[in-house]
Amino acid sequence: MRYYSIHQPEKKVGFSQAVEDSLAPDGSLYVPEVLPKHLVSWQENYAQFAYDLLQGFLVDDPLLHSYLPICEQAFNFPVVLKKMSQQLSFLELFHGPTASFKDFGARHLAQISRCMSHDKERLIMVATSGDTGSAVAAAFHQVPHVRVVIMYPHQMVSKRQAHQLACWGDNILTLAVEGDFDDCQRLLKTALNKHRHDERFALTTANSINIGRLLPQVAYFAYASLLHTQGGHDRMHVIVPSGNVGNATAAYWAREMGYPLGDIVLAQNENHTVVDYLQAGKYEKRATRSTIANAMDVGDPSNFARLRHLYPDFATFQSKVKADWLTDVQIKAAIQDAYMQTQAPICPHTAAAYGLLQKLDRKHWVVVATAHPAKFESVVEPLLDTHVPLPAMMKQQLSRPEVFLKIPATMSALMGVVDQWLMGVVEN
Ligand SMILES: *Cc1c(COP(=O)(O)O)cnc(C)c1O
């Protein structure tokens, strides 16, 4: 299996190279040459299922030999599909160590990284709107020969998210950037381009522009759709809370591979770039607005390029891709409504998807629950007037001290602290 950059389809690389590069040398994103068409059947052991499916993306790659243990180590927590009523199920993707779906991709990358040989120390840089950073930090914490730099928009993540980002130390450096997520993403892309050939380290990223982050997400959509149809449904119609549009892209890929997914609806917040594209036929990136569903605060989603590449012609795109959005006020109402209807507290991102139900046709919908509500207790608890218990792993993380540095959103500030940290001048 080969991968090519969207801008230069004639330049192909293998899986390992695509993971190593993150961003293709021309600055665009890698996509697989074809989607494997061999359908695998459902089995309860998720790690084994994911291996069976994902190995189709690693054909001919040297990593294939170590790929079963990679999947077993990475996916050591469950994918939970919960039927709530005749009309609704939740696909809970938050049972990993940092309580969001980002754990799947981050742990997958970390295990891959352990199996690759490197001649230089690796520096992994991550821009995060909230959950990616902690998932990557947890996955790479104390991994030898790897250092991680996390950039997040200062004061734009929840208190608990911030704590989860800053509780690591050792080989993890956490930076609160004075700007928004798009600033962080811009710094990341610039750093990747400028320091591609740095003699001190091999720079890469664990953002969802990295194909190694995205692919494992295909596996849980396939797994859930097969499980759902075993429960007597024809196909799984799913609503995906979307920001950088990686998760939704993975769902569309799973459907193109032939897994029984029906409608796939992107739920956005006030950063509704995809909804606007569907209406106008023209892509216009926007400045990020901050909302209570902060992991979806992305004005210029990177993975949109992959989605458009999948359906390049606008009429096809319009017929295949559905999207809608909610305001913060509507998201809050959805959190309350879901609690009344199902007794389940849900996070604001999940609520952005749940809240779309009343706008969609009446059939059984699967709402993707992307994070545990306890990550957003300051939003959720007052609305529901109830305490949301913390998952055990999060409790542990929140009991550790927080260490981070605040920097302006400039390349000189970023590379300044990174250089000092590498030299051991800056303590983290
Ligand atoms: C990252 C994230 C999203 C958005 O996912 P994308 O793949 O970036 O579209 C939604 N909800 C939560 C909780 C997230 O952490």
Q: Which residues pair with 123 in a beta bridge?
A: 147, 203
Q: Is the CB of 296 under 6 A from ligand 1?
A: yes
Among protein residues, the one with the nearest Cα to ligand 1's atom 14 is 295
Which run of H or of E encompasses 275? helix 273-280
Question: In angstroms, what is the span from residue 52 Cα to ligand 1's centroid?
Answer: 25
Burial of 315 (0-12, 13-18, 19+ CB in 10 A): exposed
Flag whether pLDDT at 192 surpasses 90. Answer: no
Mean pLDDT value of segment 46-57: 98
Flag whether pLDDT at 199 surpasses 90. Answer: no
Sign of CA dihedral 249, 254, 258, 264: negative
Sign of CA dihedral 218, 224, 228, 231: positive
Percent of the chain at pLDDT above 90?
Answer: 85
Looking at residue 31, its pLDDT comes to 98
d(CA 166, CA 150): 9
pLDDT level of residue 208 (50, 70, 90 thresholds):
confident
Average pLDDT, the chain: 95
146-175 confidence digits (pLDDT tens): 999 999 999 988 899 999 999 999 999 999
Looking at residue 191, its pLDDT comes to 93
Six-digit token pair at 55? Answer: 């190995």
Question: In angstroms, what is the span from residue 245 Cα to ligand 1's centroid?
Answer: 8
Give the closest residue to 421 by CA, choosing from 123, 154, 9.
123
Looking at residue 254, its pLDDT comes to 98
265-296 confidence digits (pLDDT tens): 999 999 999 999 999 999 999 988 989 999 99
Residue listed under structure tokens 């040989």: 117
pLDDT level of residue 195 (50, 70, 90 thresholds):
confident
Mean pLDDT value of segment 205-232: 94
21 or 313, which is more confident?
313
pTM of the model: 0.95
CB atoms within 10 A of CB 193: 12
Question: In angstroms, what is the span from residue 100 Cα to ligand 1's centroid?
Answer: 8
d(CA 70, CA 276): 39
**Which of 92, 104, 131 is the best mutation target for the ligand 1 pocket, counting ligand atoms within 8 Å of the beta carbon and taking the most?**
131
Looking at residue 365, its pLDDT comes to 98
How many degrees, rounded to 5, is the angle at CA 325 between CA 290 and CA 98? 60
Q: Is the CB of 295 under 6 A from ligand 1?
A: yes
With contact defined as beta carbons under 8 Å apart, do 151 and 178 qualify?
Answer: no
344-374 confidence digits (pLDDT tens): 999 999 999 999 999 999 999 999 999 999 9
Give the closest residue to 369 by CA, choosing from 104, 14, 99, 157.
99
Question: In angstroms, what is the span from residue 424 Cα to ligand 1's centroid?
Answer: 34
Which run of H or of E encompasses 186? helix 181-194
Looking at residue 23, its pLDDT comes to 86
Looking at residue 22, its pLDDT comes to 87
Poorest-confidence range of 236-240, 253-257, 298-302? 298-302
Give the closest residue to 159 by CA, choosing from 402, 350, 348.
402
Looking at residue 428, its pLDDT comes to 67
Mean pLDDT value of segment 261-266: 98
384 or 181, which is more confident?
384
Sign of CA dihedral 342, 345, 349, 352: positive
Flag whether pLDDT at 144 surpasses 80. Answer: yes
125-140 confidence digits (pLDDT tens): 999 977 999 999 999 9
Among protein residues, the one with the nearest Cα to ligand 1's atom 2 is 295
Q: Is the CB of 184 under 6 A from ligand 1?
A: no
Q: Is the CB of 97 under 6 A from ligand 1?
A: no
Question: In angstroms, what is the span from residue 295 Cα to ligand 1's centroid?
Answer: 5
Helix axes 102-115, 211-230, angle to 10 degrees: 130
Flag whether pLDDT at 85 surpasses 90. Answer: yes
Q: Is the CB of 330 under 6 A from ligand 1?
A: no
Q: How many residues appear in the chain?
A: 428
Question: In angstroms, what is the span from residue 420 Cα to ligand 1's centroid?
Answer: 32
With contact defined as beta carbons under 8 Å apart, do 143 and 110 qualify?
Answer: yes
d(CA 255, CA 218): 9
202 or 79, which is more confident?
79
Looking at residue 427, its pLDDT comes to 66
Q: Is the CB of 306 under 6 A from ligand 1?
A: no
Mean pLDDT value of segment 199-214: 90
